[in-house]
Amino acid sequence: MNSSEFRRRGKEMTDFVADYLDGIEGRQVYPDVQPGYLRSLVPSTAPEEPDTFEDIINDVERIIMPGAASPACTELETVMMDWLGKMLKLPEAFLAGEAGEGGGVIQGSASEATLMALLAARTKVTRRLQAASPGLTQGAIMDKLVAYSSDQAHSSVERAGLIGGVKLKAIPSDGKFAMRGSALQEAMERDKAEGLIPFFVVATLGTTSCCSFDSLLEVGPICNKEDMWLHIDAAYAGSSFICPEFRHLLNGVEFADSFNFNPHKWMLVNFDCSAMWVKKRTDLIGAFKLDPVYLKHSHQDSGLITDYRHWQLPLGRRFRSLKMWFVFRMYGVKGLQAYIRKHVQLAHEFEHLLHQDPRFEICAEVTLGLVCFRLKGSNKLNEALLERINGTQKIHLVPCHLRDKFVLRFAICSRTVESAHVRLAWEHISQLASDLLGAEKE
Amino acid sequence: MNSSEFRRRGKEMTDFVADYLDGIEGRQVYPDVQPGYLRSLVPSTAPEEPDTFEDIINDVERIIMPGAASPACTELETVMMDWLGKMLKLPEAFLAGEAGEGGGVIQGSASEATLMALLAARTKVTRRLQAASPGLTQGAIMDKLVAYSSDQAHSSVERAGLIGGVKLKAIPSDGKFAMRGSALQEAMERDKAEGLIPFFVVATLGTTSCCSFDSLLEVGPICNKEDMWLHIDAAYAGSSFICPEFRHLLNGVEFADSFNFNPHKWMLVNFDCSAMWVKKRTDLIGAFKLDPVYLKHSHQDSGLITDYRHWQLPLGRRFRSLKMWFVFRMYGVKGLQAYIRKHVQLAHEFEHLLHQDPRFEICAEVTLGLVCFRLKGSNKLNEALLERINGTQKIHLVPCHLRDKFVLRFAICSRTVESAHVRLAWEHISQLASDLLGAEKE
């Protein structure tokens, strides 16, 4: 949508809201629809080609308004998560469908999704152990529980361990910064020998530092065999899996119990919108389900409806699936794929520029939109370069450590980024590097 | 703001956004401002009288845009939470000010605030006990930890206990559905005698079922004496404390470690916006602080800036303080007070109508905008009445149980509610009651 259409549509939306409020007394207090009304009104998959804004707004009046905030908010979310799951070619088991055991939910952030998965896994293993040994206290069990993630996993994984009150151990990643099956197996065997109880593994697809990928095809079978919950955190990289050429990065998802990525990161959906799927929703729901009278409703036990409050930490919810519905329809799957591909191509363009300059080295494989690089030389030199880059305030880079190396990260992430911006950034970085190296020599 | 001004301003805002995006290449990538820049640009308290929309928009350009999303997002939040704290006349210790140890943060919901408080308290007591007895495991401690809330507390409190892995015991409330000091003391002494470790109390101001108030002035000193963290959940009632005539309901807040209420419930701020204050922010921050390189920044350890990511469960944050800023300024404190008072007055109007009809009884003291009532008679009769009321879809009531009684709840909560709506609702309820009682006799 270009600027002039945005202006026109934004103003129409303003009138839409004002008209709604002006006429609110004429509207029904409570919707007439029956549970499950919405699924039959929308297609079962996202459109390949863009829909018009007109069509979407007409559908708001036709499909959403009769279902008001409830149940439309819940039902659109379930269907949108199915749409998105199908775009990623997630195994059928993760979809809600009309009678599935899995399904998706929108969380606020990947941190919350990881925490929810860890808590569900903790409840599940605790119940299993207490069923076998009724005398075991929860504390005694928690002292023995151990979770694993790669040493490259996001800090929120470690934090989930702290919040959940369980040990979280970092598995040393390999030369490509990936967690491998052998390293996980080794740590697990050692812990089991010491009497600990491995119960939860977070595999990262697209780490924050360098966008590396844990080996799902190795880690997954170990988790299944050892009855450990496998959660996949693909916060950033997940969006790319809608492109057939990147879908192989998700191979092994069939071994997982839960999977999460953030459409708010790289799929043009505004913050916040973190998409999480589980294979068995009873595992998630069972962890903390409480039903006081003031939250009861007549469809409670019918199995017809989804109570998302049991799927998440907060009780209240926003209507975030509307954002997904609008974005998926306005871009179409093809438009979203083109957006991802453009970013990846721009990252490779930057990678290519770096390759031609022998002063620099590339520090990790460029798979998606992130390029990790540095000047050949000391960490101090690179810290000085970063200081110059960020100090001039024309572009902004966020660094990381890869093993003992201080590394600069060039991330393609703006909606409007073009090849010209990448070249400009490169010239800028290159010039500042020359200045720095010149000053070093003096 | 009336409908025609809304239409005009909404359209101006559309252009504001489009202009911003059209001109984005001319803007700075990184803001020039120094930490703490914002506080000096805004008044230290909310305005008593409304500001004009014009003034507010001009301030967006003058105050927010130079600070971009960061640090403006954080700094406006700190200042708005101070504004709101002052509106409630919270003790100075809860305010951030320029050198305070306390401060406020916007959470997504009261559930999250309760959970954060419980986790912070759990970490604090665990560290204290492990410092005294280094051999104690976390699990052994958690098996002994016990938290308390009234038997009228919201289900999210029990849920926080489940998530935190600690016992949560319900203290029997008194005849007015309030938790009293004596009942808390009794439960605590019994638990201590059994070797348990009381560490956390949630006091509710304005319970969900009947808007009852725990006795802070009794519970508070016990918590302080016994070194138990006191968290106050005033999710709904908190907004009323900006009116001097209701502020006494908050007396005893000085004993609390943390306090929370939801401006999104009754203060005209759109969902979600849950306001939480702590007396010692180090208690909250200390619980899960992790600082990976990619989240480090140059002001990290200066004490000058606030890293709200340590105050909450998710890592990412939205710019929710903008909503508070707009609402506080567009209504002024007086406008917000008038809004609260109108709702309370309408609740009393409904109460008065009930009093005149001997078929009904009022089941709890009407203090704010909630009226709990029922037909004198069986629960079955009242369940049938509720079914008729909600079945006709003209109004919608949510019931509760008070002890063994099934009770109907009439809640004043719409922004546009008037006396005429209350009278209409009453006539409707009264008629349905007549129909029901007539049918019963036949």
Alpha-carbon distance of A210 to A265, in angstroms, equals 16
Nearest to B313 among A115, A122, A155 (CB): A115
Query: How much is the mean pLDDT over chain B?
Result: 94
Residue A315: the pLDDT is 84
Return the axis-axis angle of helices A3-22 and B3-22, rounded to nearest 10°.
160
Q: Which residues of A touch B53 (CB under 8 A)?
A: none
Q: Does A287 touch chain B (CB under 8 A)?
A: yes
> Tell me, what DSSP letter sits at residue A242?
G
CA distance A124 to chain B (A): 13
- Confidence check: pLDDT of A152 > 90: yes
Q: How confident is the model at residue A250 (pLDDT cuts 50, 70, 90)?
A: very high
For residue A319, what is the nearest residue in chain B, using CA coordinates? Answer: B271
- Confidence check: pLDDT of B301 > 70: no
More confident of the two residues A309 and B277: B277
Tokens representing residue A272 in the block: 């916040």
Alpha-carbon distance of A367 to A371, in angstroms, equals 9
B361, β-bridge pairs? B374
Q: Does B272 touch chain A (CB under 8 A)?
A: yes
Residue A310: the pLDDT is 86
State the best of A155, A177, A394 to mutate against chain B, taking most chain B CBs within 10 Å: A155
B412 Cβ neighbours under 8 A, 6+ residues apart? B343, B344, B346, B347, B350, B369, B370, B422
Residue B288: the pLDDT is 72
A313-341, pLDDT tens digit by residue?
888 899 999 999 999 999 999 999 999 99
Q: Which residues of A touch B17 (CB under 8 A)?
A: 6, 10
Write out the DSSP string of B290-347. Answer: ---GGG--TTTTSSSS--GGGGSSSS----THHHHHHHHHHHHHHHHHHHHHHHHHHH
CA distance A402 to chain B (A): 10
Contact flag B140-A143 (C-beta cutoff 8 Å): yes
Residue B70: the pLDDT is 86
Q: Which residues of B touch A29 (CB under 8 A)?
A: 393-396
Distance of CA B250 to the CA centre of its chain: 13
A375, β-bridge pairs? A360
Contact flag B290-A158 (C-beta cutoff 8 Å): yes
Helix%, strand%, coil% for chain A, nearest 5: 50, 15, 35
Residue A296: the pLDDT is 65
For residue A264, what is the nearest residue in chain B, using CA coordinates? Answer: B316
Q: Which residues of A touch B363 (CB under 8 A)?
A: none
How many interface pairs between A and B have CB atoms less than 8 angstroms apart? 185
Residue A183: the pLDDT is 98
Contact flag B10-A17 (C-beta cutoff 8 Å): yes
A355-365, pLDDT tens digit by residue?
999 999 999 99
State the best of A144, A194, A260, A290 to mutate against chain B, taking most chain B CBs within 10 Å: A290
Stretch B217-236: mean pLDDT, rounded? 98
Residue A307: the pLDDT is 86
Tokens representing residue A407 in the block: 């590394």
Q: Which residues of B touch A291 (CB under 8 A)?
A: 155
- Confidence check: pLDDT of A305 > 80: no
Query: How much is the mean pLDDT over chain A?
Result: 94
Stretch B20-30: mean pLDDT, rounded? 91
For residue A415, what is the nearest residue in chain B, using CA coordinates? Answer: B21
Contact flag A143-B139 (C-beta cutoff 8 Å): yes
Residue B369: the pLDDT is 98
A104-148, pLDDT tens digit by residue?
999 999 999 999 999 999 999 999 999 999 999 999 999 999 999
Residue B236: the pLDDT is 98
Q: Does B40 touch chain A (CB under 8 A)?
A: no
Residue B98: the pLDDT is 82
What share of chain B has pLDDT > 70, as a percent?
96
Residue B293: the pLDDT is 67
Residue A9: the pLDDT is 97
CA distance A395 to chain B (A): 6
Lowest mean pLDDT among A96-110, A163-177, A354-368, B207-221: A96-110
Distances (CA, A) of B258 to B86, B200, B287: 15, 11, 14
Stretch A70-74: mean pLDDT, rounded? 92
Residue B214: the pLDDT is 98
Tokens representing residue B397 in the block: 């009531």
Tokens representing residue A257 in the block: 């119990």
Q: Which residues of B touch A165 (CB under 8 A)?
A: 122, 138-139, 142, 164-165
Stretch B98-119: mean pLDDT, rounded? 93
Stretch B34-47: mean pLDDT, rounded? 94
Stretch B236-242: mean pLDDT, rounded? 98
Contact flag A18-B7 (C-beta cutoff 8 Å): yes
- Confidence check: pLDDT of A2 > 90: yes
Alpha-carbon distance of B398 to B265, in angstroms, equals 16
B365-401, pLDDT tens digit by residue?
999 999 999 999 999 999 999 999 999 999 999 999 9
Q: For the complex shown, is ipTM > 0.90?
A: yes
State the best of B163, B204, B417 to mutate against chain A, taking most chain A CBs within 10 Å: B163
345-364 in A: which are within 8 Å (CB) of B?
A: none
Question: Omega before A198 cis (within 30°)?
Answer: no
Residue A300: the pLDDT is 52
A20-52, pLDDT tens digit by residue?
999 999 988 888 898 899 999 999 999 999 999
Q: Does A395 touch chain B (CB under 8 A)?
A: yes
Residue A127: the pLDDT is 92
- Confidence check: pLDDT of B155 > 60: yes
Nearest to A29 among B29, B290, B394 (CB): B394
Lowest mean pLDDT among A289-298, B196-205, B397-406: A289-298
Alpha-carbon distance of A189 to B79, in angstroms, equals 52
* Burial of residue A356 (number of CB atoms within 10 Å: 0-12, 13-18, 19+): exposed
Contact flag B293-A17 (C-beta cutoff 8 Å): no
Stretch B336-359: mean pLDDT, rounded? 98
> What region does B36 belong to: left with phi over 0, alpha with psi -120 to 50, or beta?
left
Q: How confident is the model at residue B29 (pLDDT cuts 50, 70, 90)?
A: confident
Residue B195: the pLDDT is 97
Q: In one letter, which amino acid is A98?
A: E
Nearest to A159 among B137, B140, B288 (CB): B288
Nearest to B14 among A14, A162, A416 (CB): A14
Q: Which residues of B touch A139 (CB under 8 A)?
A: 137-144, 165
Contact flag A7-B21 (C-beta cutoff 8 Å): no
